[in-house]
């Protein structure tokens, strides 16, 4: 079953604008990760935030985590055409031996010039 659910499903913005996408999940987690997927390519890791962290930055990326609301957001500031991609959140489902990552359905971001 899908644990992380991204919102919106699709987002279109102009270059220079900020893009915000959200991820909601159902059960408690240890960590949440965000990945980017360019069309026809594999996923690339962007950032990992632990359950005891509230905010994390990496370059133009800002991720927040609200465990009380079971949600996370990914903010891309000053977007560029090269940011056009699908973005996925991934959460863990602890099995005891190793955790399984569960991916959401993704947000498709289109950045136009």
DSSP code for 15: T
Q: Are 108 and 8 in contact (CB under 8 A)?
A: no
Omega before 8 cis (within 30°)? Answer: yes
CA atoms within 13 A on the CB side of 48: 9
Query: How many residues in the shown chain lie near another protein by CB under 8 A?
Result: 31
Residue 64 CB, shortest distance to another protein, in Å, is 18
For another protein, the closer CB: 24 or 35: 35
Q: If binding is defined by CB under 8 A, does position 92 make contact with another protein?
A: yes
Q: If binding is defined by CB under 8 A, does position 80 make contact with another protein?
A: no
What is the C-alpha separation between 88 and 107, in angstroms, rounded? 7
Q: If binding is defined by CB under 8 A, does position 85 make contact with another protein?
A: no
- Write out the DSSP string of 38-97: -TTS-EEEEEEEETT-SEEEETTEEEEEETTTTEEEEEE-S--GGG-EEEEEEEEEE-SS
Q: If binding is defined by CB under 8 A, does position 41 make contact with another protein?
A: yes
Piece of 18-26, 31-39, 52-60, 74-82 that binds another protein (CB under 8 A): 31-39
Choice from 1, 39, 52, 68 touching another protein (CB under 8 A):
1
Binding stretches for another protein (CB under 8 A) = 1-2, 4, 29-31, 33, 35, 40-45, 48, 88, 90-92, 94-95, 97-106
């Amino acid at each position: 079953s899908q644990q992380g659910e991204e919102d919106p499903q699709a987002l279109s913005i102009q270059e220079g604008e900020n893009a915000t996408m959200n991820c909601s999940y159902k059960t408690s987690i240890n960590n949440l990760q965000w990945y980017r997927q360019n069309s026809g390519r594999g996923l690339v890791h962007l950032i990992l935030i632990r359950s005891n962290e509230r905010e994390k930055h990496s370059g133009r990326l800002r991720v927040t985590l609200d465990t009380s609301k079971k949600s996370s957001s990914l903010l891309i500031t000053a977007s560029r055409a090269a940011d056009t991609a699908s973005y996925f959140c991934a959460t863990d489902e602890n099995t005891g031996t190793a955790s399984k990552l569960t991916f959401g359905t993704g947000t498709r971001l289109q950045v136009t010039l």
